[in-house]
């Protein structure tokens, strides 16, 4: 079980007065205080961990956010920023003495500039709504987390989220040009803007991926890109994971730059196929979905080249989509995978990343470890960049099964680090991987990162108990308060 810090009773004692003061900043109904309503904010996508916050406040403007921050700062109240609460790492898990600052009402598109290919939005807007705003004019916002219908841009920035198409277009940090951020003390600061590469220290880089610990992003300027004329996937089946892994490396090396390169292993294929009837072969060990984009002719040529590069790896299935219906079918199984597995069991979705050359070995060891813990693991992941998503199936209401699932998860993440990879490719550390940080970094390295938080949030009230092991952060905070 992951521990959370002991809530500060002195803060909880002030609950009523803080609520009153928040009601002076935002309309009364935007301060959520009944235990019934607070329940909606007790967890995020990592729903094995739940803790209702002291209060929730839902501002409409940056100025209100600034006033909320000033109030909380003066009272020493922890703040947990929240977008849509889809974090899989417990990134927006509250503490009992915290105010959750929800951005869900701030979802306006503020400006679209096609000539400069930028869009300015409030950060509570969903990822898909950003693309939705520019799609009629032939543009899109590139990072596409699978949760894009629900997740907010603020959450994407905080987690530096990725998606299937990031292989070609990069993740959030590569598509973020500027933010308006409310600092811990309520000061409103603009970082970057509607241009590339501002001079000075690269604060945007620090802000993106800081998991809500450096400030509250209320507005963002994002890059938008012209949409391709078309896109089509191709499906390959292989007899072993190893060979499929080698084929991935061959495609990347050949410079064929597909927009997506997704991998499914046998357990994932079986479950998805039963659920979605995508027509996947059931006699293979691994499937690759490779998507390319461009004009019809470009697509054909690229797929032909990819087929040729993969041929030496003797795929037992080769299926090329010829039209939109076939494309949708090939994607149907992949898109249904998480949901299909969710129908069978509770699952933990891991997010380690490894070098491509390690993929086959990591998949092999994953299967062995799963066997050791007597749990089922399915693998569905972004193979082009080595970002694994082992789904550990378990039973949430069986404590033994839950414990085993957590232990297996930790073992698998340690394996990723051992293989020269990392704990998290796109979901973030949150509370989930916090205690494992010392397997990837040493204490001095983490202290240097903590020093960055000191600079932005001297009192350490922003999103407590995330990212850094409690064994490091708690004494650090005590020292700072004593000093």
Ligand X SMILES: Cc1cc2nc3c(=O)[nH]c(=O)nc-3n(C[C@H](O)[C@H](O)[C@H](O)COP(=O)(O)OP(=O)(O)OC[C@H]3O[C@@H](n4cnc5c(N)ncnc54)[C@H](O)[C@@H]3O)c2cc1C
Name which of residues 410 to 429 contact another protein (CB under 8 A). 420-429
CB of 291 to ligand X, least distance (A): 15
- Give 333 or 430: the residue with its C-beta nearer to another protein: 430
Residues that bind ligand X (CB under 6 A): 44-45, 80-88, 91-92, 103, 123, 145-147, 151-152, 154-156, 158-159, 161-163, 211-212, 216-217, 338, 426-428, 463
Q: From the CB of 433, what's the least distance to another protein, in Å? A: 7
Contact residue for another protein among 354, 362, 377, 415 (CB under 8 A): 354
Q: Which is nearer to another protein, 226 or 322 (CB)?
A: 226
Q: Which residues contact 354 (CB under 8 A, 6 or more apart)?
A: 362, 386, 388, 416, 419, 420, 421
Which parts of 198-237 interact with another protein (CB under 8 A)?
A: 198-203, 205-206, 208-210, 226-229
Identify which of residues 332 and 353 has a Cβ nearer to another protein in the complex: 353
226 CB-near residues (< 8 Å, 6+ apart): 117, 138, 139
Taking only Cα atoms into account, the Rg of the chain, rounded to an integer number of angstroms, comes to 23
365 binds, among another protein, ligand X, none (CB under 5 to 8 A by kind): none
Q: Interface residues for another protein in 445-464 (CB under 8 A)?
A: 445-446, 448-449, 451-456
- C-alpha dist (Å) from residue 175 to 154, 156, 215, 321: 13, 11, 19, 30
Least Å from the CB of residue 32 to another protein: 30
Those residues whose C-beta lies under 8 Å from the C-beta of residue 184, and which sit 6 or more positions away, are 69, 73, 79, 215, 456, 457, 458, 459, 461, 462
- Cα(293)–Cα(454) distance, rounded to whole angstroms? 45
Provide, rounded to whole angstroms, the least separation between the CB of residue 212 and ligand X.
Answer: 3
Residue 470 binds which of another protein, ligand X, none (CB < 5-8 A, kind-dependent): none
State the CB neighbour count (10 A cutoff) for residue 364.
14
User: Which residue number, 385 or 426, has a Cβ lying nearer to ligand X?
Assistant: 426
Distance CA 431, CA 2 (A): 7
Residue nearest to ligand X (CB): 155
Given a contact cutoff of 8 angstroms between Cβ atoms, the answer to whether 307 and 377 are in contact is no
CB of 199 to ligand X, least distance (A): 24
Pairing type for strands 260-265 and 225-226 reads unpaired
């Amino acid at each position: 079980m992951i521990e959370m810090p002991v809530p500060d009773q002195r803060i909880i004692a002030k609950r009523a007065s803080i609520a009153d003061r928040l009601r002076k900043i935002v309309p009364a109904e935007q301060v959520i205080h009944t235990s019934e309503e607070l329940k909606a904010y007790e967890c995020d996508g990592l729903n094995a961990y739940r803790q209702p916050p002291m209060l929730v406040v839902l501002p409409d403007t940056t100025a209100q956010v600034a006033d909320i921050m000033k109030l909380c700062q003066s009272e020493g109240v922890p703040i947990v920023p929240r977008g849509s609460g889809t974090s899989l790492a417990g990134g927006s898990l509250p503490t009992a003495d915290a105010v959750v600052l929800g951005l869900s009402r701030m979802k306006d598109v503020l400006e679209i500039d096609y000539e400069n290919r930028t869009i300015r939005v409030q950060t509570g807007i969903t990822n898909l709504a950003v693309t939705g705003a520019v799609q009629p004019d032939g543009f899109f916002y590139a990072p596409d987390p699978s949760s894009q219908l629900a997740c907010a841009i603020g959450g994407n920035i905080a987690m530096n989220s990725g998606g299937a198409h990031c292989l070609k277009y990069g993740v959030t940090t590569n598509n973020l040009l500027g933010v308006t951020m409310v600092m811990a003390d309520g000061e409103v600061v603009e970082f970057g803007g509607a241009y590339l590469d501002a001079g000075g220290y690269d604060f945007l880089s620090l802000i993106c991926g800081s998991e809500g610990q450096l400030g509250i992003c209320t507005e963002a300027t994002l890059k938008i890109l012209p949409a391709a004329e078309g896109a089509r996937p191709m499906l390959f089946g292989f007899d072993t994971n190893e060979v499929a892994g080698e084929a991935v490396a061959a495609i990347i090396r050949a410079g064929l730059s597909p927009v997506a390169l997704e991998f499914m292993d046998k357990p994932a294929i079986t479950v998805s196929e039963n659920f979605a009837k995508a027509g996947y072969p059931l006699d293979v060990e691994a499937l690759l979905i490779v998507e390319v984009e461009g004009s019809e002719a470009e697509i054909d040529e690229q797929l032909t080249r990819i087929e040729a590069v993969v041929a030496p790896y003797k795929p037992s299935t080769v299926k090329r989509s010829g039209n939109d219906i076939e494309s949708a079918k090939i994607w149907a199984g992949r898109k249904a995978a998480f949901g299909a597995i969710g129908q069978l069991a509770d699952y933990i979705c891991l997010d380690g990343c490894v070098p491509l050359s390690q993929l086959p070995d990591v998949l092999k060891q994953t299967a062995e470890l799963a066997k050791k813990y007597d749990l089922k693991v399915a693998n569905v992941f972004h193979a082009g960049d080595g970002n694994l998503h082992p789904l550990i199936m378990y039973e949430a209401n069986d404590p033994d099964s839950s414990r085993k699932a957590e232990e297996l998860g930790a073992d698998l993440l340690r394996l990723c680090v051992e293989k020269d990879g990392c704990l998290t490719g796109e979901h973030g550390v949150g509370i989930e991987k916090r205690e494992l940080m010392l397997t990837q970094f040493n204490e001095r390295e983490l202290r240097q990162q903590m020093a960055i938080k000191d600079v932005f949030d001297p009192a350490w009230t922003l999103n407590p108990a995330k990212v850094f092991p409690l064994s490091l952060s708690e004494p650090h905070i005590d020292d700072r308060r004593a000093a």
